[in-house]
Amino acid sequence: MIKMENAVASPKPRRNLAHALLVSVRPKQWIKNLLVFAAPVAAGSIADTKILEPALIAFLAFTLAASGVYLFNDVADAERDKSHPKKSGRPIASGEVPIPLAIVIAAVSAAVSLAISFLFATTGLAILIGLYLLLNIAYSHFLKHEPVIDILVVALGFLLRAIAGGVADHVPLSNWFVIVAAFSSLFVVVGKRYAEAELLGEEASAHRASLGKYPLEFLNYARTLSSGVAITAYCLWAFEKGAAAPGGALWIESSILFFVAAILRYALLVDQGHGGAPEDVLISDRFLQVIGAIWAVVLVIGIYLSR
């Protein structure tokens, strides 16, 4: 008879303060800030150094602002995160980063992001950064508890990044561009809520009050609605862009296929339980990366042939 012993899970080694702080500002989520390059790329002017430099400043400013927001949010959520199967390992929730230190670093990051925007870019970018910070501070303290409002605020964070690229570079933003950015953002955020609700089950409301108020049927409806509007707006943008510049029309209009494929792939991953952390999905799923790369190449070729 073979004697079986229960294996005792060893606790994770405690991170040093520098490593814990780096984890707290969530460098993987900085990938979201690449949205600031969307407007100049769509306008076909990203290769212009006069456009690229302000876009890089906007990227840096949003990276600092977002890092401050993540720290503020983790401080506000520290107690709730302790009951979450994954978030309990965050440095602030686990006690690896002292709360007073996190607040100081968050405030400094926010202030520096505003200063960089105002001094090295445009007043418009500084206003957008300020709005982003105010919205997220309000979100951390009370807006996150209001269903639908919490989704809109997070989606606005994505949209403000996309708009910031145009504001910093003085690149005109088309109506269709804004609609595509807005509803694509909403689609991703609703998918995140769906994945969280599936993961936590009956414990969802204990982690976040608003999360327990979302029936899965409603979240599925919201995903369908947001993806449908995003795809429709993208099609209209592509046809409008192609009609104005026939040289690249075929390429731009062909990009619709890959845009829709990316939406479908992401929807599948959410249904499989992988949408709780969108940045992890983008980094880890090779098929989504390939589809996204093909979409970007086809679109850029079309845009630059249209010039």
pLDDT of residue 78: 79
Q: Out of 123, 157, 173, pick the residue that ends a domain.
A: 173
Q: How many residues does the chain have?
A: 307
192 with 143, same domain?
no
- For residue 9, pLDDT beyond 50: no
**Residue 36 near residue 283, CB atoms below 8 Å:** no
- Please calculate the CA angle 79-282-239 and round it to the nearest 5 degrees: 125
Q: Out of 154, 173, 192, pick the residue that ends a domain.
A: 173
Q: Which residues contact 75 (CB under 8 A, 6 or more apart)?
A: 92, 99, 102, 103, 106, 140
115 with 136, same domain?
yes
Q: Which residues contact 70 (CB under 8 A, 6 or more apart)?
A: 24, 25, 26, 29
Q: What is the DSSP letter of 199?
A: H
- Please calculate the CA angle 231-186-106 and round it to the nearest 5 degrees: 140
82 with 37, same domain?
yes
Tell me the percentage of the chain whose pLDDT exceeds 90: 43
**Residue 98 near residue 78, CB atoms below 8 Å:** no
Residue 179 forms part of a structural domain: yes
- For residue 139, pLDDT beyond 50: yes
Residue 18 forms part of a structural domain: no
CA atoms within 13 A on the CB side of 4: 1
Residue 69: name the closest of 39, 122, 120, 33 by CA.
33
183 with 159, same domain?
no
Question: How many domains would you assign to the chain?
Answer: 2
169 with 29, same domain?
yes
Does the pTM surpass 0.95? The reply is no
Integer Cα distance of 165 and 159 in angstroms: 10
109 with 180, same domain?
no
Integer Cα distance of 51 and 40 in angstroms: 7
- For residue 109, pLDDT beyond 90: yes
* CATH code for the domain of 76: 1.10.357.140
- For residue 200, pLDDT beyond 80: no
Q: Which two tokens stand for residue 121?
A: 């870019």
Q: Which residues contact 19 (CB under 8 A, 6 or more apart)?
A: none
Domain that holds residue 164: 25-173
The alpha carbon dihedral of 214, 67, 282, 255 has a sign of: positive
Q: What is the DSSP letter of 8?
A: P
* Average pLDDT of the chain to the nearest whole number: 85
40 with 166, same domain?
yes
122 with 169, same domain?
yes
Residue 69: name the closest of 34, 99, 24, 37 by CA.
24
Residue 8 forms part of a structural domain: no
164 with 206, same domain?
no
Q: Out of 119, 144, 173, pick the residue that ends a domain.
A: 173
pLDDT of residue 208: 63
- For residue 253, pLDDT beyond 90: yes
- For residue 192, pLDDT beyond 60: yes
Residue 207 forms part of a structural domain: yes
Residue 140: name the closest of 80, 215, 230, 222 by CA.
80
Rg (CA), the chain: 21
Residue 256 forms part of a structural domain: yes
76 with 181, same domain?
no
Residue 231 forms part of a structural domain: yes
303 with 198, same domain?
yes
Quick: pLDDT tens for 272-307.
Answer: 888 777 888 888 899 999 999 999 999 989 988 876
Q: How far is CA 19 from the centre of its chain?
A: 23
Determine if residue 211 is left, alpha or beta; phi over 0 gives left, psi from -120 to 50 gives alpha, anything else beta. alpha
Residue 19 forms part of a structural domain: no
Q: What is the DSSP letter of 147?
A: T
167 with 35, same domain?
yes
pLDDT of residue 188: 93
